[in-house]
Amino acid sequence: GKVLVLHGPNLNLLGTRQPEIYGHETLEDVNNALRETAVLAGWDIDCRQSNHEGELIDAIHAARLDGTQAIIINPAAYTHTSVAILDALNAFEGRVYEVHISNVHQRESFRHHSYVSLRADGVIAGLGTRGYQAALNAVIRASA
């Protein structure tokens, strides 16, 4: 199998950005742990981060054509604003898991609504960076 992990804007700052909310692990730590799990399960994994909405959309389009079976996405702030990312995900036929490191429902009300949740097969919020591992386990099991 093949899985794409997409991290949205500001997640390149993970580990140093509001660590009381997002923790001390860096994005590299998160991606390395995901790669380890994927390799053990015999999955190909591609982990990408972008601060640009269009780049995230282009990566979703590429996933339609390269045999990617699942996308794990933390759209970050675009979660709450981006119809364009929702539309791109609607054009992708595999499974989609939405991950938020923090419990968005416990925070400002503008974080309570997600466009991406309309498409996501599963949503994980508030488990910290372990949420990505939970999503990857779901991907691996769904296709076992």
* Angle at the Cα of 130 from the Cα atoms of 125 and 135, rounded to 5 degrees: 70
Separation CA 35–CA 43 (nearest Å): 9
With beta carbons less than 8 A apart as the criterion, state whether 140 and 41 touch: yes
Provide the minimum distance between the beta carbon of 112 and ligand DQA in the complex, in angstroms, as a whole number. 9
Provide the minimum distance between the beta carbon of 122 and ligand DQA in the complex, in angstroms, as a whole number. 15
Q: Which of 97, 100, 115, 132 is catalytic?
A: 100
Provide the minimum distance between the beta carbon of 111 and ligand DQA in the complex, in angstroms, as a whole number. 4
Binders in 64-123 for ligand DQA, by CB under 6 A: 74, 76-77, 79, 100-102, 104, 111
**DSSP readout, 28-75?**
HHHHHHHHHHHHHTT-EEEEEE-S-HHHHHHHHHHHHHTT--EEEEE-
Instruction: Verify whether residue 115 is a known catalytic residue.
Output: no
Query: Based on CB atoms, which residue is closest to ligand DQA, 31 or 74?
Result: 74
Q: Which of 22, 97, 115, 132 is catalytic?
A: 22
Separation CA 58–CA 61 (nearest Å): 5
Q: Residue 66: how many CB atoms within 10 A of its CB? A: 10
Residue of this chain nearest to ligand DQA (CB atom)? 76
Query: Based on CB atoms, which residue is closest to ligand DQA, 123 or 142?
Result: 123
* Angle at the Cα of 140 from the Cα atoms of 139 and 144, rounded to 5 degrees: 120
Provide the minimum distance between the beta carbon of 30 and ligand DQA in the complex, in angstroms, as a whole number. 11
Binding site feature residues for substrate: 74, 80, 87, 101-102, 111
Residues that bind ligand DQA (CB under 6 A): 10, 74, 76-77, 79, 100-102, 104, 111
